[in-house]
């Protein structure tokens, strides 16, 4: 399944925050870690915050973090939220099939996710 760039960035943000649950992270830090434009990530994070996936704190000492523990975040719901309705990818995300996926993050943790 091919994901949109927006979905790819959203998954990267969630995985980065999941590996840094002990502190607030900045958009700039995530952008630098993944080589992504900070402006693109601001739009992605705004959407994730509005949907309740992340919590953002403004001002000095602010940043972003997961809105709930990583184990409670549903990858299928994340993909559904980030894929536009009516697209081919949206139809694939809403399909009844399930395909397990495994992502490894830099800390060595594994995240098994099924869509």
pLDDT at 87 over 50: no
Asked whether the beta carbons of 64 and 57 are under 8 A apart, the reply is: yes
Q: Residue 60: what pLDDT? A: 87
Helix (H) or strand (E) holding 56: strand 54-57
Pairing of strands 63-66, 110-114: unpaired
> Which domains, from first to last, does the chain contain?
5-114 (1.10.10.10)
H helix count then E strand count, the chain: 5, 4
Helix (H) or strand (E) holding 103: strand 100-104
pLDDT tens digits for range 74-84: 888 888 888 76
> Is the whole-model pTM more than 0.75?
no
Provide mean pLDDT across the span 50-65. 91
Distance between CA 37 and CA 30 in Å, rounded? 10
pLDDT tens digits for range 17-51: 999 988 999 999 999 998 989 998 999 999 999 99
| Percent of the chain predicted with pLDDT > 90 | 36
């Amino acid at each position: 399944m091919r994901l949109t760039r927006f979905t790819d960035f959203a998954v990267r943000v969630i995985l980065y925050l999941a590996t840094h649950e002990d502190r607030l992270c900045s958009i700039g830090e995530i952008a630098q870690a993944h080589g992504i434009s900070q402006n693109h990530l601001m739009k992605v994070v705004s959407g994730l915050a509005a949907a309740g996936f992340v919590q953002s704190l403004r001002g000095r000492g602010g940043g972003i973090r997961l809105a709930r523990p990583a184990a409670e975040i549903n990858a299928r719901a994340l993909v559904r939220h980030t894929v536009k309705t009516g697209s081919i990818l949206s139809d694939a995300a809403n399909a009844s099939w399930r395909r397990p996926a495994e992502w490894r993050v830099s800390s060595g943790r594994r995240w098994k996710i099924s869509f």
